[in-house]
Structure 1
């Protein structure tokens, strides 16, 4: 998969329920693993006026049937899938009672973006993450 390697990340978070903004800056590494790529990100998260904290998350990406890429939680549970040959694929995930929707944008590869919208009884936020190769400087944005 073309994602293997180290990426820098900049993320904007808009918590529409709380009226707060946040940001995450860090890096993500896609490492080859049996059947796909392990995804691990680490960085600094700032939410509203709270002190910054170290944050991390991990997933497993693998090639699915046809031209699909499947994203799974680290414990193997299915998260979502998207078409690898679509420059702007989208996907949804229901985690009752919350609904997650993502739209990827690969049109400026190797710079790419993931836009999330999450709604539920206790959640209402938008999150935009920009990725770029770790060896490149410069600004993000699509």
Structure 2
């Protein structure tokens, strides 16, 4: 991919509904899967902030922050080896110390990774036990972004590629796609 689309404010960019298409390739087990669904980045409420373990007005370094962050909720269907199952996950995106950045946390408040979309591209690492998750985030334009997570460890060798397309609300008020 050539050019990346710089993002001045990561949380403002991410806010809203996104259609999600993910492929999962397991090189260790020689399997493939796919997820299709929707991700909603909505405002964090006080209870969500308490679960994230963060003071809504301070960064991890104690710097005052604007905004309260976003609750990321993804839901859809995951198909693995021909078997379809419902799947969902929740993350919390908190304001980072610099414009264009965010602190990503798991639903229980544990740190996941930092995110800096100021240049339109960012690489994050997340060590998990003996495994290393390396994520590359690329912003293509105002309505499209991608993540590619490469997971390696003693028993894991995966690539998860996720494409996000901004959802739009139609005249009937229902979500749709451009």
Larger-Rg structure: 2
Cα distance between partner residues in 1 of 2:119 and 2:108 = 27
Does residue 19 in structure 1 map to residue 51 in structure 2? no
**Corresponding residue of 1:121:** 154
Matches within 5 A, 1:103-122: 103-122=136-155
Aligned residue pairs total 137
Structure 1 residue 2: Cα displacement: 1.9
How far did 1:47 drift?
Answer: 1.0
Gaps of 5+ in 1: none
What's the TM-score once normalised by structure 1's chain length? 0.90
Structure 1 runs (4+) deviating above 2 angstroms are 135-138
The 5-angstrom pairing of residues 75-114 of structure 1 reads 75-114=108-147
TM-score, normalising length from structure 2? 0.73
CA–CA distance in 1 between the matches of 2:16 and 2:98? 23
Alpha-carbon distance, 1:101 to partner: 0.4
> Larger relative CO (CA 8 A, sep 6+): 1 or 2?
2
Structure number with the higher helix fraction is 2
Q: What per-residue deviation string (whole Å, max 9, x for no partner) do you get for residues 50-107 of structure 1? A: x200000110001111132111001111100021302111110111211000001103
Structure 2: 5+ residue stretches without partners = 1-11, 46-67, 169-175
Give 1 or 2: higher strand fraction. 1
Shift of 1:7: 0.7
RMSD: 1.3
